[in-house]
Structure formats: structure tokens, C-alpha cells
Amino acid sequence: MTVRRRLFDAEHDAFRDSFRRFIDAEAVPNVNQWEAAGVTPRGFWRKAGALGFLGFEAPTEFGGVEIHDFRYNAIIQEEVAASGIATDGFALHNDILAPYLIEYADEEQRSRWLPGFVSGELVTAIAMTEPGTGSDLAAITTKATYDGDHLVVEGSKTFITNGSSADLVLVLARTGEREGRGMTLVAIERGTKGLIQQAPLKKAGRKGQDTAEIVIDGCRVPRANIVGVAGNAFDLVKRNLARERLSIAVYAVASAREGLRLALEHTRARKTFRQPIASHQAVLHGLAGMHTDIEVAQSHVDACVVALNDGELTAHDAAGIKYWATDLESRVLDQSLQYFGGYGFMDEYPISRRWRDARVQRIYGGANEIMRDIVGRQLIR
């Protein structure tokens, strides 16, 4: 009982079916193994690239198909959420890093990096967050000092998705332009002396996703590895944040929908006092509330996808849907787990994994408290 979504057409539906088959065959059976290892294997990304699920916005000469339609990105996020594999890899690759390498990189850089980016041979990361800064990117201390045709980069980054496995890391560093406020994106390639990619961190959730600390100890990097205009990186980052936050919101609503599906399945089958749990009024009203909240959120997320495609999604609109959708996700998954009773707290039950994997959504991409601040400040301008 849902309102028919009008966001997708037949080509999108075919893409969804293809991606779902890929995930069901290549990812879902391996979740336990990936969680134990703390990383998604490189072979998985090569298979994804071979089937056209990575970097599809890239120009055809680099292996892409030049599709600039965020509905395809949304489909991938929705199906990843529905599958329960809890990887940030697709979102990082397609939604966050793609614009930097496709729109802001120069021709020589695109020739160097995009073929591997599209094929899945090149695992990428973007290193912005630091141990003392969190969501406050303006406070970063990593520095890049000019030295002839090179930069010398010093600093440390933390909570970096693909941090231990990345072949190419885009590092946000201070370079001192613009009256000392200038920041630059410097691409550092795996194997560069002084680039120390630590082992994956142990986390409460999303255990199969490589998240690591990176130490940058005097890396000498060619000036040719500056992405975009030197000193202007903070503007590029801010421009891309709306897309990143919408990606998180898309995943969050799909995750909440799957949590509700599991709750419905369980409460229909499980009985207390000789009747299904779902027939008790308190549970019935809870299910109704979750369903309606998800439907309302879905409509707004879909509208934001259209706005992004039209170049109209603002930073404050993206901040608003990010915090609303991820708060909803946590609320729905927590309530759904409650309906499972003690079983919901056991790892072998999918609702348990979804509950713990969702918690970080309210933190990364900008903590939800900061998202509210962005929306509020816009209102009182």
C-alpha cells in the first residue's frame, strides 16, 4: 500500500533489476566474510566496474557512458540499502568522488585516473576529516607546502572510507592562498613515500566497510596532482556536499523501508496471547506511523533528486533532508527491532545488523546537529 513513485522510467527499472541481480549474486552471500575482514575485496569492485555500475558519468573515452542522471545513483543506493550489505563504497565512488575526477580534474589527470575509476581497478578515497575537526572542515590542520614543482604534505586524517585500500586519496590540505584561508585538494597515489594507510578501524557497525586512519608524513606530491584550482578546494567541497547528503538521505529512506518490511513480516507471524503481534493496537498504530512517515519522506527525497538533476538543490535543502531522513531511519529501525523482542538483538537477525549499521548515518556527511544549524541559519537570514 504505497503511492506509486513517478521518479523512474523503464530504463531505470531495467538498471535496477540488473544491479539487484549483481548484488544478490556477488555481495549478499559474502557479507559475513567481508565483516570479518573489515574490508570489501577489490575483486568485487572490478566486477561492478565491468558491468557498468561505477563511474558511469565519465566520458566515453575513459570507459563511461556520460549519464548525468542522479536517479541511477539513487537506484544503487536503494538497492544497497535493501540488500543489507551496508557498504559505503558505491556512494563514495559514484556520488562523492565522481564530480571531483570528472568535473574538476584536468585532461591529463582524467586520462591517468578515470579509466581505472570506471573499471573498478582504481579504489579511491577522499580524506577531509581529522582527529580534532569532525564536521568542521574549516578547522583542518593538514598542510601542503609548495617546493618547486612539488608540494610537501603533512597531517593526519581519520574515519576515511576506503582508507586502507585506496589507490588514490584526495587530501584536503591548507596551502595558504586567499589570505591564509586557502585549501587545496591534493591527489596522493598509493605507494607515495610518507603515505601511511592504517589497518581498518574496528567499528560498532558497517563492519565490512574499510574505514581507516591515514597519516601523511612529508609526502612529496607533484603539483600536477592538484585537483581543481589551488587554494579553492573549500568551495569545491561545499559545492559537492549537497549531492553527498542527498545520497545519504536516499539510502536512509530505503533502509527504513526495509526495516518496516522486516517488522511487518515478523509481527504477522509471531504471536502473543494467541494472536499475531501486529493485531495489538499499540503495534498496529506503530506500524501505521512508520509506514506513513516513510511515504512522506520518500516523496520529499524524490523531489530532491529531481532538484539535483535540474541544478536546483540548495545546500540547506540537502542538509534538511539528510537529517530528517537519517533520524527517520534510526527511529524506524529501533522501533522495528523492538517488535522482535530479544531476537532483534541477535546478530543473526537482519534487523539487528540494520539497526547498528544505521547509527553512523546521523554522524557522517555532517552531523545532524550541524545540518539543523545550516537550515536554521538560512531561515533567519
3-state secondary structure labels for all residues of the chain: CCCCCCCCCHHHHHHHHHHHHHHHHHCHHHHHHHHHHCCCCHHHHHHHHHCCCCCCCCCHHHCCCCCCCHHHHHHHHHHHHHHCCCCCHHHHHHHHHHHHHHHHCCHHHHHHHHHHHHHCCCCEEEECCCCCCCCCHHHCCCEEEEECCEEEEEEEEEEEECCCCCCEEEEEEECCCCCCCCEEEEEEECCCCCEEECCCCCCCCCCCCCEEEEEEEEEEEEHHHEECCCCEHHHHHHHHHHHHHHHHHHHHHHHHHHHHHHHHHHHHHCEECCEEHHHCHHHHHHHHHHHHHHHHHHHHHHHHHHHHHCCCCCHHHHHHHHHHHHHHHHHHHHHHHHHCHHHHHCCCCHHHHHHHHHHHHHCCCCCHHHHHHHHHHHHCC
* Rounded Cα distance, 183 and 373, in Å: 24
CA distance 285 to 61: 54
Catalytic choice (78, 244, 258, 329): 244
Q: Which amino acid is at 375?
A: V
Q: How far is CA 330 from CA 85, 350, 361, 375, in A?
A: 17, 15, 9, 20
Nearest to 53 by CA among 85, 26, 82, 84: 26
Could you tell me which residues come within 8 angstroms of residue 50 by beta carbon, excluding any fewer than 6 positions away?
119, 120
154 is catalytic: no
- What are 231's three cell numbers? 587554494
Return the residue matching grid coordinates 574496528: 202
What residues are annotated to the active site?
Answer: 244
